[in-house]
């Protein structure tokens, strides 16, 4: 009998410094393969073996962090049948 897996949100918090507009500070050509490489790197360097990781990179103003984390959790953890009803 396998144990029930549970999902927990986590956040890596950082800052970037630029004289550019925020919308001009990020690459727009990041590929799904590059995001997968980043996910695998986080999984390998931060978590122990057997832990799965999902990521959704985005920039959130400090006063909107809680709401953004709740939205991410809903997107990741809402079963497909519940999404259809909303």
Residue 7, in any domain of the structure: no
Residue 46, in any domain of the structure: yes
Mean pLDDT of 4-23: 83
- Higher-pLDDT residue of 28 and 76 is 28
- State percent of the chain over pLDDT 90: 27
Q: What is the pTM of this model?
A: 0.59
Structural domain harbouring 81: 22-85
Give the residue among 7, 15, 22 at the shortest CA–CA distance from 78: 7
The tally of domains found in the chain comes to: 1
Q: Is 70 exceeded by the pLDDT of residue 57? A: yes
- State percent of the chain over pLDDT 70: 88
DSSP string of 51-76? -----------GGGHHHHHHHHHHHH
Q: What are phi and psi of 80, to 5 degrees?
A: -55, -40
Residue 2, in any domain of the structure: no
Q: Is 70 exceeded by the pLDDT of residue 83? A: no
CB 77 within 8 A of CB 7: yes
């Amino acid at each position: 009998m396998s144990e029930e897996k549970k999902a927990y949100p986590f956040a890596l918090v950082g800052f970037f410094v630029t004289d550019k507009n925020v919308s001009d500070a990020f690459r727009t050509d990041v590929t799904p393969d590059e995001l997968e490489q980043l996910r695998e790197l986080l999984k390998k360097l931060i978590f122990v073996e057997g832990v799965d990781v999902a990521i959704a990179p985005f920039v959130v103003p400090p006063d909107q962090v809680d709401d953004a984390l709740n939205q991410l959790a809903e997107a990741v953890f809402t079963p497909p049948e519940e999404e259809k009803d909303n």
